[in-house]
Amino acid sequence: MKILRSIVFICFILGNTSVLFAQREVIEYLPNFDLQTVHWGYYLGINNKGYKISYLEADKNITVEEATGFNVGLIGDLRLHNNINLRLEPGLSTNTKILYFNSLPGKQDSIREAGGTYLHVPLVLKFSTNRYNNIRPYILGGISYDYNFSSNQDNPDDNSSGEFRLKKHNFMYEMGFGIDFYLYYFKFSPSIRGVFAINNELKYDENPDSKWTGPVDFFGTRGVFINFTFE
């Protein structure tokens, strides 16, 4: 009987606790925020970039010392549907990588610096779930344009003079996921996305048999962006 009374008592406590939680009202912040046709915001974040490199010769390889940089930019959001938004996110990102040409002897020949500052302009579709209280998960994907301010594309000197050159104009595709958090005054969204080059970013040396660029078939950015947006 003592065990039975204990079970009844525990069930009574759990039942009353459930009722209390069910009756507790959740305050929904910014209830009309997602009804806007257009809204604006900005983002801050960090990135980690390297390169995907493929070769024409199997015994050639380049080691990339990946680096961490930062991102900052603006957001323009167009509501297409209750769960779909088109977003333009122009910004600046910085990142400088070190390349080691393992088949070349000597520090002067085997080490090059790549990258610097980029104008990064993604155009992405954001697919959101229905809102649950003050959170709303989403996935996104799209294309982006990069203008490399540090490309040296027009420099007449190449690797034979110590200048590693990359193209100015590059295109990427990107995809990622995040969560919208609706706060009292604004919407805060942490997200993570992968960025992948579409075109070959390498500016080849004038000599087709260059020991730096001759063996390279494809040289393109691979990176991860972590952004914190405020809308």
pLDDT in tens, 170-194: 999 999 999 999 999 999 999 999 9
CA dihedral 27, 32, 33, 35 (to 10 degrees): 150
CA dihedral 145, 151, 154, 156 (to 10 degrees): -160
State the average pLDDT for the chain.
Answer: 88
Residue 43 burial by CB count (10 A; 0-12/13-18/19+): exposed, middle or buried?
buried
Longest dimension (CA), the chain: 94
Domains and CATH numbers, the chain: 37-230 (2.40.160.20)
Tens-digit pLDDT profile for residues 40-81: 999 999 999 999 999 988 777 899 998 899 999 999 999 999
The predicted structure's pLDDT at residue 24: 57
Q: Evaluate if pTM is beyond 0.85.
A: no
Report residue 208 as tokens: 């087709």
The predicted structure's pLDDT at residue 14: 42
